[in-house]
């Protein structure tokens, strides 16, 4: 499946379910510790993780492509880091999951938004989407990442 077809909101094969990615499990594994199960940003003690229920105070914005970019690059100088181990489809799926917390439903991204994203990250050159990431694999990744960090990487 072409990436552009996958991210095209008009395409029938669009969305976390169709992508066969368990976005909720990814969110709970990698995001909920800081952003909270309800997306209210309550998980991070002594600091502010973004409250996903409102579009206020976002640095990049609430488009899928904005969240995708945050997952690629993190937010410098904050505890929001990049998630380079996610596949492009996992980033798209998690971005939709995050947007679902917004009380005021945001408009879908435009074709131009997606085209720019595909261009910026060379996404048309990516592989077939992976199957749903099993929880064991997610935990393995977490451990590997922690070890990398300890090793200074
Ligand atoms: C270690 C804590 C932590 C984890 C884990 C974490 N975040 Fe964040 N996140 C933050 C903080 C803190 C901010 C606010 C940064 C700032 O001050 O701009 C943030 C901001 C964001 C934003 C707002 C971007 C914007 O435009 O302002 C998004 C979207 C986001 N996180 C998504 C995620 C997703 C998705 C995950 C899981 C894959 C995740 N975060 C995991 C701490 C975390």
Q: Quick: pLDDT tens for 12-48.
A: 445 556 667 888 999 999 999 999 999 999 888 777 8
Choice between 78 and 111, residue whose per-residue pLDDT is larger: 78
Residue reference for tokens 């914005």: 61
State the sign of the Cα–Cα–Cα–Cα dihedral 65, 68, 74, 79. Answer: positive
Beta strands in the chain (DSSP E): none
State the sign of the Cα–Cα–Cα–Cα dihedral 75, 80, 86, 88. Answer: negative
Choice between 103 and 46, residue whose per-residue pLDDT is larger: 103
Q: Which two tokens stand for residue 109?
A: 């991204």
Condensed to tens digits (0 to 9), the pLDDT of residues 66-83 reads 999 999 999 999 999 999
Tell me if 72 CB under 6 Å of ligand 1.
no
Which has the minimum average pLDDT: 5-9, 32-36, 95-99?
5-9
Tell me if 97 CB under 6 Å of ligand 1.
no
Closest residue by CA, ligand 1 atom 29: 67
Residue-range domain boundaries for the chain:
3-29+60-150
Tell me if 101 CB under 6 Å of ligand 1.
no
State the sign of the Cα–Cα–Cα–Cα dihedral 86, 87, 93, 95. Answer: positive
Query: Where is 146: in which H helix or E strand?
Result: helix 135-150
- The neighbour count for residue 96, using CB atoms within 10 Å, is 18
């Amino acid at each position: 499946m072409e990436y552009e077809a996958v991210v095209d909101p008009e395409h029938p094969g669009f969305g976390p379910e169709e992508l066969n990615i368990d976005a909720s499990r990814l969110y709970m594994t990698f995001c909920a510790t800081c952003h909270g199960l309800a997306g209210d940003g309550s998980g991070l003690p002594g600091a502010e993780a973004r409250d996903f229920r409102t579009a206020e105070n976002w640095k990049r914005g609430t488009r899928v492509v904005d969240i995708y970019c945050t997952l690629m690059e993190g937010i410098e100088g904050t505890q929001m880091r990049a998630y380079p181990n996610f596949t492009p489809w996992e980033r798209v799926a998690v971005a939709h999951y995050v947007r679902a917390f917004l009380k005021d439903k945001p408009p879908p991204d435009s074709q131009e938004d997606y085209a720019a994203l595909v261009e910026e990250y060379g996404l048309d050159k990516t592989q077939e989407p992976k199957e749903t990431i099993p929880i064991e694999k997610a935990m393995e990744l977490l451990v590997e990442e922690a070890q990398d960090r300890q090793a200074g990487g």
